[in-house]
Chains A and B, each alone.
Chain A
Amino acid sequence: MNDTRKNANRRSGLPPGDIVYSILTRCAAGAVLLIAIGIVISLTGNSWPAIQKFGAHFLVDTTWNPVESEFGALSSIAGTLISTVIAMVIAVPLAVIIAFFLVELAHPILSKPIGYAIELLAAVPSIIYGMWGLFVFAPYMADHIQPALQRWSGDFPLFSGAPMGIGMLSAGIILALMVLPFITAVMRDVFRMVPSVVKEASFGMGSTTLETAQHVTVKYGFSGLIGAVFLGLGRAVGETMAVTFVIGNSHDISLSLYAAGNTIASTLANEFTEAAEPMYISALIELGLVLFVMTLIIQVLAQWWIGRTQKKAGAGL
């Protein structure tokens, strides 16, 4: 009698603690979903007036005229892409050879603190990079690096114009510095996962360290390299403060990397609180939407890639 009642109790419901537990965790997970959906809805909703007014033309128009309420995103999109490309061109090879050094060359006594220091670069807040970039690095660029580049490259159009320090190139270099630790960390893990038997086989054939890295380690870790690049891309595209400090905030598109430019994030940071016109605000939020879509594409591609290689690795190993 007593037993059946106990059983019925057990079947009829969970302990009250478990009900609360289940509700709370579900609510929290729901909140995550809600935020993700909320970002899409709020950005689309608030940029709707601008989307209706400018249509697809917004994406290819270079006008940015708050007075006349005429807005086009091309200069910001171009600036975002150019600064990101500069950052990746510098950071990816650098990260690969740093990871190579940390895994293949350096003694653990050296490798650990150096790896740690590189990782600390990621912990430095964006605004500190901005301060350092504006007051220390940009003047140094203007005085030393930019004139030297000009002398060395002749009249190359990418390095033409007055060396002011601030501008697209400086922003790209600082971005490179900021994404470097993320890419290095992933590459280091990837290189570490290469089985030593494979490497030893290569050494046994008489390969040098470089040849082993080139033909074995990097080939083995190529998919990881792509993943690391995606990670860096995602970071670089949306980086705001450091770029805002050094890019110069101009809405002109220039061929020269010495010229001031803007990115989507820097335009938002600079202009959003000053915008009073509803159409101005709406256009800025549409810029935000464009940036969000860019990061979303990068994320989806990255996850697709990781999923693909995981499946492949699972089948192969």
Chain B
Amino acid sequence: MVDWADTEESGGRLMTAMKVRNPIGRKLLDRTVKGLSVGASFLGIFFLAWILMEVTNRGIAAINWDFFTELPAPPGEDSVGLSSAIVGTLLMTVLAMVIGVPIGVLSGVYLSEVARGTRLANGIRFCINVLMGVPSIIVGLFVYSILVLPMGQFSGLAGAVSLAVIMLPVIARTTDDMLILVPNALRESALALGTPKWKVTYDVVLRAAKTGMITGVLLAIARVSGETAPLLFTSLNSVYMPEGLLAPTSNLTVTIFNYAMSPYADWQQMAWGASLLIMVSVLGVTIFARAAFKERVK
């Protein structure tokens, strides 16, 4: 038989040691915090929805055929568009890709395939992490001093280089992370067949990591195409259709900044239109990239 008196007594002692707390109070607190956490999550969604809706509502009015085909005009004129800025942004993003993607992928390959585990690789990995944390406006300052100052003028090339510098560490890091996931047995079996190392990397390792890397690259592109800060003092802005990348180059994001800060209502309207265009393309690429990645996981 259980000695109830005894257990109750020792239980009582234990309870005093642990401090008796009112279960109703505890449950109430629990409910409150649960409620708060639901509220906080919906607050996040609420802000996202608010931003998306405002940008869409205000931007849609500015978007028409002229928006894509006409050049920017002084405030007050009827038919105005941002064709030059659209072309400029596309040109710079593509050039940034051409510079940033190969260097990023190759340095990721270096870290994972060529020098894995060495001190130098760890040092470079540290640099990549630091570069990922460098604010984009600092990258703009850096490119200003290495390209704009020596060349004596702002240029689309400098803008593209600054975007590439922002992309580079992101892509290098993604490549590194993705390649390390590739099982060593794959590499070893390819090498055992006498395959040269570059072919192992290119045909086996990179192929195995392809989906993840494409996602990473797409996300990096989406990120830089919405960047403004590094372009402020590299590509600057212009109202003309870009004729080369050695002169100040018109682009959407700096145009948004300039137009939004102007006192003219029709320019601010154009800024909303450009914001909508940027937002839709950036979010579009991001969502597409993530959806594509999900398929692989399945």
Contact = CB atoms under 8 A, between A and B. Distances in A.
Interface of A: 14-15, 17-18, 20-22, 24-29, 31-33, 35-36, 38-39, 42-43, 45-46, 94, 97-98, 100-102, 105-106, 114, 117-118, 120-121, 123-132, 134-136, 177, 180-181, 184, 208-211, 213, 234, 237-241, 244-245, 265, 268-269, 272-273, 285, 288, 291-292, 295-296, 298-300, 303
A129 B55 CA distance: 10
Contacts of B228: 125-127, 240-241
B109 to A, nearest CB: 5
A273 B235 CA distance: 11
A240 B272 contact: no
A134 B50 CA distance: 14
B210 interface: no
A238 B48 CA distance: 22
Nearest to A46: B145
A234 B136 CA distance: 12
Interface in B274-289: 275, 278-279, 282-283, 286-287
Interface residues of B, number: 88
B233 interface: yes
25 contacts: A29-B115, A29-B120, A32-B169, A32-B172, A35-B127, A43-B142, A94-B43, A102-B41, A118-B44, A120-B48, A120-B283, A121-B47, A123-B282, A124-B283, A125-B282, A128-B226, A128-B278, A132-B55, A184-B44, A209-B34, A240-B137, A241-B229, A265-B137, A273-B233, A273-B236
Contacts of A295: 133-135, 138
B103 interface: yes
Interface of B: 26-27, 29-30, 33-34, 36-38, 40-41, 43-45, 47-48, 50-51, 54-55, 58, 102-107, 109-111, 113-115, 120-121, 123-124, 126-131, 133-139, 141-142, 144-146, 149, 165, 168-169, 172, 196-199, 201, 222-223, 226-229, 232-233, 236, 253, 256-257, 260, 268, 271-272, 275, 278-279, 282-283, 286-287
Nearest to A265: B137
Contacts of B226: 125-128
A237 B136 CA distance: 11
B232 A269 contact: yes
A36 B130 contact: yes
A205 to B, nearest CB: 10
Contacts of A42: 141-142, 145-146
A98 B137 contact: no
Nearest to A180: B44
A35 B229 contact: no
Contacts of B257: 127, 130, 241, 244
A102 B55 CA distance: 28
A136 B260 CA distance: 12
Contacts of A291: 135, 137-138
Contact of A114 (B45, B113, B124, B130): B45
B110 A268 contact: no
Given A39-B138, A269-B229, 16 more contacts: A18-B198, A21-B196, A25-B114, A28-B107, A32-B103, A32-B128, A101-B41, A125-B226, A126-B229, A128-B275, A238-B136, A240-B136, A244-B257, A268-B137, A288-B141, A295-B138
A29 B103 CA distance: 8
A14 B199 CA distance: 13
B44 A131 contact: no
